[in-house]
Structure 1
Amino acid sequence: MPSNHNPLPGVQALLFDVFGTVVDWHGSVTAELQALGEKHGVEGDWSAFAKTWRNGYLKTTRQVALGGGGPGNVDVMHRQILEDILSLPDWKILGAKLDSEARDELNLVWHRLHGWPDSTPGLHALKKEVIIATLSNGNVRLLIDMAKFANLPWDAVFSAELFDSFKPNPKVYLGAASHLSLRADQCAMVAAHIYDLRAAAALGMRTVYIRRSGEEPPDVEDVKAKADGGEVDAVIDSFTELATLLQQLH
């Protein structure tokens, strides 16, 4: 992308999806599950466990976003899904070894997700150029704990919990912009998931797609910027790349 082309004109704030975009949920959860299995002498496909847990979250948040029933707090949601998983035939052996307190502790793994290698340095650099804030379906306490754990220097933490729904419900995106006293077009959504960016773009927000390993199915791997005939405003491989772009433009 030429340095004299500005794909984000007038943008004063970057709003970040978090799970998968800023932190490696799959690697982090899988590693903790594996360690727990080794502690209790249980073998299993821990990657599959993590993906099942995540897929339950995706299904429930989208259901709520469309007006359906479900918990409004992701910690509660994750705990309910964990109970369901531990009752499945593949995981009953582990379930039998975990009492309620141990399950509560395991549920907090979602507060202890490691950032991608570029996340902390990239966010520190971006923070010098614009407002940086979360816009995540994770609940407020989860996002605060994760920021402390992974050294994520947010200016603000916006959670869908504050807007009584989940992304991609429009009021989540518009609510965050309103709290920053900005119009939608003065904000850019940054995500590794095209559905999130499409929802933001429909409301007038700018969009930045970041490629993250394992976060999108193969049919959407070829996301392109508008300058290249695509649908998003910018495509990046790291937050440091985005910071460099903004520094050149400013």
Structure 2
Amino acid sequence: MACLGLVAASPIRTQGVGDALEFRETPYFLVMLVHATGLDYQDQPRLVRSLYKSQMKGGFLGHSWVVLSGIEGGRRQVVEAGLTPRDLESVQFFRGVLDLAEYGYVNPAAEQKRNPRYEPDPISYLWRDLGNGHLRMESQGGLEPTFAAKVDLDPGQYRRIKARLDPTLPSHKTFQVTGQQCSSFVAELAALAGVNLQHQVTIPIPREVEYSGKKVRLWSDPKYSSITFSSPDAVEADLKRLVASGRAANALSWYHSAAQYSEASMRHVLAGR
């Protein structure tokens, strides 16, 4: 696992989120970061519209990741990592559903378009394990967080989280909207830090939606009438609550200041962006 020695930074006073704690580089800590896209969960039609707009812009629905920092052998080691799919096209979730509805296949070939098959539950695509996840650890600049929060760790918590951030673990291959993905993975690491991160949303799914002037059936089996998944927007909201309650420190300014480390900063990037 790639690690990095960093010198201690000066404390950074947080602003704008309640009576927030002052950020200090303690011996062991975890920073949880999120890039939220602001999906509109107020009601079903608004959510569908915001999902559609996001997907048509490239399918990006947000991202969550972590920075783990601790002292080893007298030096500060830092690891920045997040779970992502290897193939960015696979996160075109809305398009995958539409492909199933129209052709019965995802990313259909020309022959499959000429000979479509019936798929009774196109929305079931959101339950598929894409099997292409991996723990991405990058050394170049990339995705900027919309919020970040830091919690302190004891040595045992640090070791357990670091072990989970081994990029060779076979479990990282699992990637699905309703299961293991970037936000649920951050919630798993938060739990190892003693934080019960609220990261899931449950929304109803209409049997049909209108798309390009046509009715598109999404499901026949009622088990697909609602979906529960981990959302970067939910992660961001709970991180802000943790900071406002004094249980975590705002780490956004600290993360941005890490640019001073240039190529050594191990900034995280989402594949293909």
TM-score (structure 2 length as normaliser): 0.27
Q: Which has the higher helix share?
A: 1
Q: Specify the structure having the higher radius of gyration (Cα).
A: 2
Greater strand share, 1 or 2?
2
Q: Considering Cα pairs closer than 8 Å and 6+ residues apart, tell me whether 1 or 2 has the greater RCO.
A: 2
